[in-house]
Amino acid sequence: MSLDQTDVDFDQYLDVALDNATFEEEIYGVPLGVSLTLFFYNTGIFEELELDTPKDYDEFITVVETLRDNDYYPLALANQTGWTGAYYQEYLVNRLAGEGLYDDALQREGAGFDDENYVRANEKIQDLVDMDAFNPGFNGIPYDAGQGRQLMYSEQAAMMLITTSFLNNVRDEAPQYEDDLGVFPFPTIEGGEGDGSNLLGSGAPVWSVYEDTEHEELAIELIKELSNEETSIDYMDSTASMSAYEGLQSDDAFVQQFIDLLQDANYLGMPYDQTMPPSVAQVHLDAAQEVLGNTLTPEEAADLVEEAAQNSLD
């Protein structure tokens, strides 16, 4: 069921987190946590090579080239299931065209998934592949098994574009690596229409109320309790994750950095495969994987996703 201000004080939550629970201007849930997708990197390697974290995409390419020329894998990627590699396309499209393109393509309100900016994003991905930016065999490596993260821990790879859950992986799997861990957002693209503060991520968990519940008032009180300030603080402290509650601070330096980025964000975009219909989402993941594998051209991949969207959404 949709909620309104008389049910929940929405001013308690970050607007960008509430946007993830909003459909056709109606809010259907209240968020507790937020996950972001960011670049994690090895500060020691960057210091060794006198590299600064890149602010724009040209600087990013220079960093990639320098790392490759010094026998590091610039980017760790474990993309057997497709979602990790798809982050590159989703961010590039956002930086090239802004957040409106994906929303329009999904809602079938103008431009589609074959828009030139999807093609341009795919071209930039294949440029990275052609310059050996990724570790060998990345499309056959499952992320959950941890081999991609091991490339970071062993200092074979210098950067990884992944969700903020990576911080918990580090603390569980290789706590000594945290001393060399840094983070930066996806760079801007010169001439692109996307706001450089835009982030990919998701509100999770988001508490909702079943429309036909017999206990609507109690259910609303429960989701308020599950997302109030006290619960949000406990959630941050116990999970090293951000809360969607407005104005909270953290003693954890990494979590505070995530909070600062989120509070400054103009937009928080959900991963495509979590907002597309399943049939379209799988085509998107498969096409993005094939772009990375150089087995589809940028245009062919964009056309495949647009065809799936037409069949499912038009």
Tokens representing 187 are: 């760079």
In a domain, 236, yes or no: yes
In a domain, 107, yes or no: no
| d(C-alpha 273, C-alpha 253), whole Å | 30
Q: What is the pLDDT of residues 161-198, one digit of tens each?
A: 999 999 999 999 999 999 999 999 999 999 999 999 99
pTM of the model: 0.95
Domain that holds residue 228: 10-29+200-268
| d(C-alpha 212, C-alpha 219), whole Å | 11
Q: What is the pLDDT of residues 26-75, one digit of tens each?
A: 999 999 999 999 999 999 999 999 999 999 999 999 999 999 999 999 99
Q: CB under 8 Å, gap of 24 or more: what pairs does 263-266 form?
A: 263/14, 264/197, 265/16, 265/197, 265/198, 265/199, 266/16, 266/195, 266/197, 266/198
Q: Do the Cβ atoms of 19 and 268 come closer than 8 Å?
A: yes
Q: What is the pLDDT of residue 204?
A: 85
In a domain, 161, yes or no: no
Q: What is the pLDDT of residues 95-131, one digit of tens each?
A: 999 999 999 999 999 899 999 999 999 999 999 999 9
Torsions phi, psi of 203, nearest 5? -80, 125
Tokens representing 314 are: 């038009």
In a domain, 182, yes or no: no
| d(C-alpha 231, C-alpha 246), whole Å | 13
- Report whether pLDDT(23) > 90: no
Token match 């929303």: residue? 103
Q: What is the pLDDT of residue 106?
A: 95
Torsions phi, psi of 215, nearest 5? -130, 60
Q: Do the Cβ atoms of 225 and 231 come closer than 8 Å?
A: yes
In a domain, 2, yes or no: no
In a domain, 18, yes or no: yes
| d(C-alpha 125, C-alpha 242), whole Å | 30
Q: What is the pLDDT of residue 51?
A: 98
DSSP state, 3?
B
- Report whether pLDDT(24) > 90: no
Residues 37-59 as b/e (b if ≥16 CB within 10 A, e otherwise) read: bbbbbbeebbeeeebebbeebee
Secondary structure of 158-216 as H, E, C letters: EEEEEECCHHHHHHHHCHHHHHHEEEECCCECCCCCCCCCCEEEEECCEECCCCCCCCH
Tokens representing 218 are: 């109690």
In a domain, 280, yes or no: no
In a domain, 212, yes or no: yes
Q: Number of structural domains, the chain? A: 1
